[in-house]
C-alpha cells in the first residue's frame, strides 16, 4: 500500500488508499510510530480513499489514539469513506473520527 503524506506545521496527514487489511494495518502502525517519534502533535489518518477497514486497522487507530491522547496530542481518522464509517460504527468507535 502506498501511504501518502501531507505535512502542515506540526500536523501530519497520512493518506491510505484501498483495502486496509492486516498487512496494511501493520504498515500504518509503522508510519504512526515513526510520526510520533518525529514529534508531530496531530496525526490524521485520511480514509477518504479506503474501500475497507478491518479490525486490525481499527486496533491500530485505537491504540495510538489513546497513546497520543495520553500525551495531550491527537490522532484521528479523517474523511472516512462510507465503508470505513460503517466499520467504525459497527464496532462502536465513532470518536476516532475527526469531526
Q: Which of 21, 11, 3, 17 is nearest to 44 (CA)?
A: 11
Q: Which is nearer to other proteins, 38 or 55 (CB)?
A: 55
How crowded is residue 39: how many other Cβ atoms within 10 Å of its Cβ?
9
Cβ-proximal residues to 2 (8 Å cutoff; 6+ apart), any chain:
17
> Least distance to other proteins from the beta carbon of 95, Å?
5
Does 51 bind other proteins (CB under 8 A)? Our answer is yes
- 83 forms part of the interface with other proteins (CB under 8 A): yes
* 92 forms part of the interface with other proteins (CB under 8 A): yes
Q: By rule CB under 8 A, what count of residues binds other proteins? A: 24
Does 76 bind other proteins (CB under 8 A)? Our answer is no
Residue range at the interface with other proteins (CB under 8 A); choices 3-11, 33-41, 62-70, 71-79: 62-70
Report the alpha-carbon distance of residue 96 to residue 62 in Å, rounded. Answer: 7
Amino acid at each position: 500500500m502506498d501511504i501518502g503524506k501531507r505535512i502542515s506545521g506540526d500536523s501530519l496527514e497520512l493518506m491510505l488508499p484501498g483495502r486496509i487489511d492486516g498487512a496494511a494495518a501493520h504498515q500504518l502502525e509503522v508510519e504512526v510510530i515513526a510520526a510520533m517519534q518525529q514529534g508531530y502533535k496531530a496525526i490524521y489518518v485520511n480514509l477518504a480513499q479506503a474501500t475497507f477497514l478491518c479490525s486490525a486497522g481499527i486496533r491500530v487507530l485505537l491504540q495510538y489514539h489513546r497513546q497520543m491522547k495520553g500525551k495531550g496530542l491527537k490522532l484521528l481518522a479523517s474523511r472516512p469513506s462510507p465503508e470505513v464509517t460503517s466499520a467504525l460504527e459497527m464496532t462502536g468507535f465513532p470518536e476516532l473520527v475527526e469531526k
